[in-house]
């Protein structure tokens, strides 16, 4: 599944190029609990079609009702007393406008917001098609783009951006940064990789799997993931990880994992990690220090054991653990120490009076 923002903007572009009226809604502020974060977008077409989300669905329904004839016509079919053309149910023209939902407890209940939750949207009416074409083209080309909307008249300007930025809104403009989809490079095409790739795909990552071993590639069964057979370190170099990329080594084979990890550590990848126990992870770092002139400081960004501690033992459970940690790092969430695999396992071993290493192992694929 592709990046949701790109999908919303591409669909909106298509509607506007076809001459259809449409609006773009952006979450610009939230107070208390909110179902969607600031920066979330959705697009609404004059025929009632919706792509994207700004809530759990109730606010989308209200926007459809207020700005299209879709609900009026549906109601009229079931109730002869309803005039399908009554009321001002269309997408208006003019400058962008703000709208708030969930200001009162009754509104929070009506619109399905959590208790006390309030959010504010900016609605842009009939966004310029040419600007949308350029924005989508840049995003599809892997560029990070800053989109500025002038509130006085809705005029849009696009600028390349060096890094992701949080949405900002002032009395004169809205600035939102859009980027290409997040990418995940997985080293090894084993069973754990299949589960992790599946979770990454439905989380909006573009997934590439690298494994030079034909016996593993031949059994690969996850569609929509790119599978390559070159040596992992060469693949990392060609992949060019950026701040929207993560690299995860899953083979347990130093010949495949180590060089790829070292290449990944030279990049801006937001997450670089390798499967294995605490003991295996320490052995990996010792090899890198001894043979590749690394230091404890240079290896500090290397994560391992990877994942959050949920007592996982099977490949799907381990994949859940790893995916959860990747998403936490992506979203800037600091995980508590007791969820860190290395510390949690150490604490459990101490409490059980067991000095042994509780290995996070993955069954090897057969056949």
- pLDDT the model gives residue 58: 78
- pLDDT the model gives residue 204: 83
Kindly list the structural domains of the chain, giving each domain's residue range(s) and its CATH number in brackets, ordered by start.
Answer: 4-178 (no CATH), 184-351 (3.40.50.720)
d(CA 347, CA 359): 14
d(CA 130, CA 17): 8
- pLDDT the model gives residue 359: 41
Question: Does the reported pTM lie above 0.95?
Answer: no
CB-based contacts of 48, cutoff 8 Å, min separation 6: 64, 68, 69, 70, 71
pLDDT in tens for each of the 367 residues of the chain? 557 888 999 999 999 999 999 999 999 998 876 667 899 999 999 999 999 998 867 788 889 888 886 444 444 444 544 444 444 558 888 999 999 987 666 666 666 666 557 889 999 999 999 999 999 999 887 788 999 999 999 999 999 987 778 899 999 999 999 987 789 999 999 999 999 999 999 888 989 999 999 999 988 989 989 999 999 999 999 999 988 899 999 999 999 999 999 999 999 999 999 999 989 999 999 999 999 999 999 999 999 999 999 988 899 999 999 999 999 999 888 888 667 776 666 665 555 555 444 444 444 343 3
Quote the crossing angle between the two packed helices 254-265 and 232-239, to the nearest 10°. 20
Of the candidates 334, 329, 280, the one whose C-alpha atom is nearest the C-alpha of residue 304 is 280
- Count of H helices and E strands in the chain? 12, 15
Strand partners, 30: 119
Asked if 3 contacts 181 with a C-beta cutoff of 8 angstroms, the reply is yes
d(CA 136, CA 93): 23
- pLDDT the model gives residue 267: 96
Q: Is 343 helix (H, G, I), strand (E, B) or coil?
A: helix
């Amino acid at each position: 599944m592709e990046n949701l923002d790109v999908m919303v903007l591409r669909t909106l572009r298509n509607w506007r190029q076809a001459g259809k009226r449409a609006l773009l809604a952006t979450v610009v502020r939230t107070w208390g609990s909110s179902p969607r974060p600031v920066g979330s977008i959705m697009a609404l077409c004059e025929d009632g079609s919706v792509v994207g989300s700004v809530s759990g669905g109730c606010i989308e329904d209200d926007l459809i009702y207020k700005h299209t004839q879709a609900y009026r016509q549906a109601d009229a079919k079931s109730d002869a007393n309803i005039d399908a053309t009554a009321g001002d149910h269309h997408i208006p023209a003019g400058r962008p406008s703000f709208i708030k939902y969930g200001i009162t407890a009754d509104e929070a209940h009506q619109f399905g917001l959590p208790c006390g939750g309030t959010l504010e949207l900016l609605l842009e009416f009939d966004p310029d098609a040419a600007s949308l074409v350029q924005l989508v083209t840049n995003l599809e080309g892997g560029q990070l783009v800053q989109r500025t909307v002038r509130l006085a008249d809705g005029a849009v300007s696009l600028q390349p951006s060096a890094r992701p930025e949080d949405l900002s809104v002032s009395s004169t403009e809205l600035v939102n940064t859009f980027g290409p989809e997040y990418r995940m490079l997985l080293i090894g095409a084993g069973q754990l990789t299949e589960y992790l790739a599946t979770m990454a795909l439905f989380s909006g990552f573009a997934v590439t799997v690298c494994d030079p071993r034909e016996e593993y590639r031949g059994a690969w069964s996850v569609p929509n993931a790119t599978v390559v057979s070159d040596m992992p370190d060469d693949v990392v170099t060609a992949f060019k990880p950026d701040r929207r990329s993560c690299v995860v080594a899953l083979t347990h084979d130093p010949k495949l994992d180590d060089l790829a990890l070292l290449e990944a550590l030279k990049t801006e990848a937001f997450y670089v990690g390798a499967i294995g126990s605490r003991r295996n992870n320490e052995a990996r770092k010792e090899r890198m220090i001894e043979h590749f002139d690394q230091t404890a400081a240079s290896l500090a960004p290397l994560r391992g054991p990877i994942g959050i501690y949920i007592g996982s033992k099977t490949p799907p459970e381990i994949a859940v653990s790893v995916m959860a940690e990747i998403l936490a790092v992506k979203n800037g969430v600091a995980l508590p120490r007791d969820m860190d695999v290395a510390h949690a396992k150490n604490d459990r071993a101490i409490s059980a009076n067991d000095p042994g290493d509780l290995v996070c192992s993955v069954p090897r694929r057969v056949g």
